[in-house]
Amino acid sequence: MYQENKYSSKLLNNAVEEFSKLPGIGGKTALRLVLHLLKKSEEEVNLFGETIIELKKNIKKCKICKNVSDDEICEICSDSERDRKTICLVENINDVIAIEKTGQYKGLYHVLGGLISPMEGTGPDNLEINSLIERIKSSDIQEIIFALNSTPEGETTNYYTYKKVSGFGVRVTTLAKGVSVGSELQYVDELTLGRSIIDRISFF
Amino acid sequence: MYQENKYSSKLLNNAVEEFSKLPGIGGKTALRLVLHLLKKSEEEVNLFGETIIELKKNIKKCKICKNVSDDEICEICSDSERDRKTICLVENINDVIAIEKTGQYKGLYHVLGGLISPMEGTGPDNLEINSLIERIKSSDIQEIIFALNSTPEGETTNYYTYKKVSGFGVRVTTLAKGVSVGSELQYVDELTLGRSIIDRISFF
């Protein structure tokens, strides 16, 4: 009797179902979150729901770098203190966040929005590669740092994009591969350790 | 620069902040959930937000048992197939859900909405004890099963409520204490094992 209508309240069921759709949130966690919200004031719950709706409704893609943005041009692209001659090429917004967190990068970004993946049906035209070329043509870009994942899809996209951007006289670099800071050598995988020897740098 | 405005987008920040308020959801998980929602269609995200808002806006307290309900009277209380002479006294909706899941109980419930806890400032008047007394007075209740947590607060509430309901000629019972089904004796705590010997039942 309580299978379809698991919690004897449709409202409760619907809310639990919505939370369960989120990645990594199972039925039990969803119920816990919903019961937590039930204890909150109507204002707090409205704020929760409306903030999510507003996000999706109002968020834009930056016209320049294709990162998510509140305005036509994102905060990073409109920041006059950043180095406008360097572009870091990343797959998605998570990568922008990860690199921003390091505090080591002061240039701009270009967010591809994915990687070339025939398996998933993602071709070059589904990605922001043409807009990257346009950017290189229309502004004074001197370096592009390729910062895509070291996966087959990443390598394919690297290769394809490299072919496209070479010929514009832009310096193309990529992230250094090597042992992690603080890592113990015995636990570093062979490929990485091998690369770190080949790409060794001067000590001082 | 990116501390206050952590993700270079206020909309994104606000959404991550709202998710972070939920129990057990840290900043990283909140970001993951928000980025997941960003990938969904506007309809799906609206459905998510509105379902949560609708829940809080429209959910009611059942007039009889004080459980959450879509209508004035909840599904359990309005189910004519349930045993209307037995009430199971529980702390909150989670307990109703847990007992319903067993499929072993066909009576009604009474949801106290908490436990007596001087530490948290919860007294008997903050709980649905008086409404329980009214229920006993106004309908033909023959048994009340006390199913509160075995905590000091639960015991205090048990004792107080028992005092209140005794004198109405209602049979008062409580959940059997004993070893868990499928448990290994060596791992059962002494108090529980002791109670299970004292309360031993006939084998057939």
Q: Do B33 and A22 touch (CB under 8 A)?
A: yes
Alpha-carbon gap: A10 to the closest alpha carbon of chain B (Å) = 7
At A203 the pLDDT is 77
Question: Model confidence over A137-156: pLDDT tens digits?
Answer: 999 999 999 999 989 999 99
Is the alpha carbon torsion for A111, A117, A119, A123 positive or negative?
positive
Among the ranges given (A7-16, A78-87, B57-66, B70-79), the one the predictor scored with the smallest mean pLDDT: A7-16
Chain A residue whose CA is closest to B52: A15
Q: Do B33 and A55 touch (CB under 8 A)?
A: no
ipTM surpassing 0.85: no
Alpha-carbon gap: B179 to the closest alpha carbon of chain A (Å) = 25
| B86-104 b/e (C-beta count within 10 Å ≥ 16 → b) | bbbbbbbbebbbebbeeee
Instruction: Calculate Rg over the CA atoms of chain A.
Output: 23
pTM more than 0.90: no
* Cα angle A44-B12-A127, degrees, rounded to a multiple of 5: 145
Among A33, A42, A55, select the one facing B12 at the smallest CB separation: A55
At A5 the pLDDT is 54
Interacting residues of A8 by C-beta distance below 8 A, sequence separation 6+ = A2, B67, B69, B74, B75, B76, B96, B100
Q: Do A38 and B55 touch (CB under 8 A)?
A: yes
Residue A176 half-sphere exposure toward CB, CA atoms < 13 A? 11
Three-class SS of chain A:
CCCCCCCCCHHHHHHHHHHHCCCCCCHHHHHHHHHHHHHCCHHHHHHHHHHHHHHHHHCEECCCCCCEECCCCCCCCCCCCCCCCEEEEECCHHHHHHHHHHCCCCCEEEECCCCCEHHHCECHHHCCHHHHHHHHHHCCCCEEEECCCCCHHHHHHHHHHHHHHCCCCCEEEECCCCCCCCCCHHHCCHHHHHHHHHCCCCCC
Q: Do A52 and B47 touch (CB under 8 A)?
A: no
Question: Model confidence over A95-142: pLDDT tens digits?
Answer: 999 899 888 899 999 999 999 999 989 999 999 999 999 999 999 999
Question: Which chain A residues touch B99 with a CB distance below 8 Å?
Answer: none
Question: Which chain A residues touch B17 with a CB distance below 8 Å?
Answer: 51
Alpha-carbon gap: A192 to the closest alpha carbon of chain B (Å) = 27
Q: Do A2 and B53 touch (CB under 8 A)?
A: no
Among B14, B97, B100, select the one facing A51 at the smallest CB separation: B14
Only one residue has tokens 């033909």, namely B140
**Could you tell me the domains of chain B?**
10-58 (1.10.8.420), 68-174 (3.40.1360.10)
Among A12, A21, A42, select the one facing B57 at the smallest CB separation: A42
Mean pLDDT for the stretch of residues B90-116: 92
Mean pLDDT for the stretch of residues B93-103: 89
